[in-house]
Structure 1
Amino acid sequence: MTDPTLGELTVGVEGLALLRLLHADDRGAAQVARAARMAETREVLERLGREPSLRGPLGVELGLREGYARWAATYDGPLRLFSIEEPPVRRRLEAWPVGEVLDAACGTGRHAVRLAGRGHTVIGVDQSAEMLERARAKVPGGRFVEGGLTDLPLPDAAVDAALCALALVHLPDVAPAVAELARVVRPGGRILISDVHPFLVQLGWQAQFPVGDGRAFVRLHRHRVTDYAAAALAAGLVVSGVEEPALTPEAARTPTTELVPEATETAYAGLPGVVIWEFARP
């Protein structure tokens, strides 16, 4: 058994780009672009036999705890999805009244900083001590504690609102975590969840980051958009908003960008990149 290779990913990206060009609106331009993709695919397949780098693994898989411990130092790099996730999340957070807010899976505190700046009392929870260390440095007035999404270290109805950003995708099942968020939020409160869009995970996206002179990744689990809604409804929440920001060329950068930039952008740009849910706690 061998790990997926950079060459395999590159061929897959060329194929996805070709699929998206099959029935493009500009038929003449699409025909030219399809020919380019076919030619480049043949070139990539020929290169597989002579370039060891294309036969190398995409990255080393790390467990959740080890992965985020090693990623903490470069996590604010920023992550490629931050540019499409942060604007709609922050727009919704700005409408929240000032109160006590849980930042679940807070990471290095990128959203906690904004919450504290708007006058909220912030409680950050994360399973990574290394991430929490950086969050505490950013938000000295916040309270940051170690804990998991399915067993939050808070009593019932402890906060006015909760945020969970780009984290549920690491769980095999989103329902227990959504139920926990509902448990700790007071009646009348809000819950905001952002996550890697299920469509990208179905296409093989993983949480990749550089380590030394190579790459590593933490596994993302495949959910459906409806899994989030079903989990929220089961927890007694009410859907008050949902958005699906699309990938920009910047957010669509992958390990194939340097090898086949045109195919990479054609394959991914415009696809839904993030899903953002806002729920009310009756």
Structure 2
Amino acid sequence: MVDMDNGWQKSARAWIADMGEAGDFGRRYVLDPVMLPRALAHSPKSALDVGCGEGRFCRMLKRHGVEVTGIDPTPALLAAARKRDATGVYLEATAERLPFEDASFDLVVSYLTLIDIPDIRAAIAEMARVLKPGGSLLIANLTSFNTACAGDGWIKGSSGRRLHFPIDDYLKERSVWIDYRDIRVVNHHRPLSTYMKLLLDTGLQLTHFDEPAPIAATPPAKAASYRRVPWFLVMEWVKPV
């Protein structure tokens, strides 16, 4: 069993309840409308979901005929994934040591998992290694502007109105405990340049970059905060043939 001192095993039940089947607000209204079409754009036959959690995105891809393998280091989340998808392939493993041969997958997905990975340098190299030539690495991540808030979140006035979102020590890589909705886990802050340099070093080529806003049908009050702060980014990197 992987060392679970990052809070995920203890937070698994709360995480599963928070996700439900449709995902939380950010996934449902901001990221899914971008991530799913991009994942399917090149008609991948095989996909690896790195940090699959309870398997929600794996199930979404499977419904479109993709043969998906999910890996995660958290046993409780894998148990939930297997319960919801009895025919799925869900393995206990870390992103830093993927148990697959070189060039095994048409598509590798990291859906809000880079912030959870301690050794991001090893993980990005591994994701590039298992990708087939011509295949895509599709990434959704919290923006580094977001993670540079050091877990403080919105600064509010005396009336409770959200005033601004703080950024501090942007260039300093660090880990911090994050608490929300009965979930307490470790997140890792890194400047965007760290991710970009590591991805470029693999030889992958950037073909898509976006900071998506909530879709038009989003509940207006909730959407407003996501438009004030650059919450997420989406990148697609292709392995040269």
Q: 1:227 and 1:118 mapped to 2: Cα distance?
A: 33
Equivalenced residue count is 206
Q: Kindly indicate whether residue 64 of structure 2 is the aligned counterpart of residue 106 of structure 1.
A: no
Aligned to 1:119: 65
Q: 2:220 and 2:231 mapped to 1: Cα distance?
A: 8
Say which of 193, 197, 209 aligns to 1:226: 193
CA radius of gyration, larger in: 1
Say which of 192, 212, 221 aligns to 2:138: 192
Aligned to 2:206: 239
Q: 1:96 and 1:170 mapped to 2: Cα distance?
A: 27
**SS of residue matched to 2:199:** helix
Aligned to 2:9: 66
Q: 2:219 and 2:145 mapped to 1: Cα distance?
A: 18
Q: 1:243 and 1:123 mapped to 2: Cα distance?
A: 26
TM superposition shift of 1:123: 0.5
Report the TM-score, using the length of structure 2 for normalisation. Answer: 0.75
Aligned to 1:151: 97
Q: 2:107 and 2:96 mapped to 1: Cα distance?
A: 17
Aligned to 1:164: 110
Aligned to 1:37: none
TM superposition shift of 1:75: 3.7
Say which of 8, 27, 34 aligns to 1:88: 34
Q: Which has the higher helix share?
A: 1
Amino acid of the residue matched to residue 239 of structure 1?
Answer: L
Kindly indicate whether the alpha-carbon contact (under 8 Å) linking 1:65 and 1:128 is maintained by their aligned counterparts in 2: yes
Q: 1:115 and 1:232 mapped to 2: Cα distance?
A: 24
Residues 252 and 194 of structure 1: CA distance in aligned 2, closer, same or farther (over 3 Å): farther
TM superposition shift of 1:67: 4.1
Q: 1:68 and 1:237 mapped to 2: Cα distance?
A: 34
Gaps of 5+ in 2: 152-176
TM superposition shift of 1:110: 1.4
Q: Which has the higher strand share?
A: 2
| Alignment deviations for residues 91-148 of structure 1 (CA, whole Å, 9 cap, x no partner) | 2112021311001100111111111111111111001111112222333332110001
Aligned to 2:24: 79
Q: 2:228 and 2:147 mapped to 1: Cα distance?
A: 15
Gaps of 5+ in 1: 1-61, 254-264
| Poorly superposed stretches of 4+, deviation over 6 Å | 247-253
| Bigger mean CA offset, 226-235 vs 63-72 | 63-72
Amino acid of the residue matched to residue 110 of structure 2?
Answer: C
Q: Kindly indicate whether residue 143 of structure 2 is the aligned counterpart of residue 176 of structure 1.
A: no
